[in-house]
Amino acid sequence: MPHRTIRSTLLAGAIALTALLLLVAACGDSKPEYCGKQSELRTAVDELGEAGLPSEGVGALLSSVRGVEAKAWGLAAEVKAEYPTEVSSAEVSLRQVRAATKAVAAEATPAGVARLVADADDLRVDLAALDDAVEKGCE
């Protein structure tokens, strides 16, 4: 009988330890789902660079800006409730960039490209503020 009690106790302990390890593993990655989108947005913003006109021309700039826009809108939709101030500022900049992008796509004038570059730089600043806020929730 004592062997059976010891065996039962060891088995119960092993089951409890396994359950605890599974619970810890499941909770170990408790970051919000939007953290992946934040990382994708950060990469897109980094690729946009200094918001200047790339050597590839206006088409490459438009493509980079559109990539940032798409990722920014995706993240903003997920974190708006938690970070309303930062999202609101980013949305204003996103709308300005969208308007400038449409204007440059229709006719790439030097003034239009300069406006797009300036708006893209403003967007980078607003997205950096959003990124900083979201980063705290992803640590």
> Does 6 share its domain with 73?
no
Expressed as residue numbers, the domain containing 51 is 34-138
> Does 1 share its domain with 51?
no
The answer to pTM > 0.95 is no
Range in 14-23, 32-41, 52-61, 126-135 with the lowest mean pLDDT: 14-23
> Does 107 share its domain with 120?
yes
> Does 45 share its domain with 18?
no
> Does 94 share its domain with 65?
yes
> Does 15 share its domain with 53?
no
Mean pLDDT of the chain: 77
Domain count, the chain: 2
> Does 46 share its domain with 19?
no
Label residue 46 exposed, middle or buried (CB < 10 Å: 0-12, 13-18, 19+).
exposed
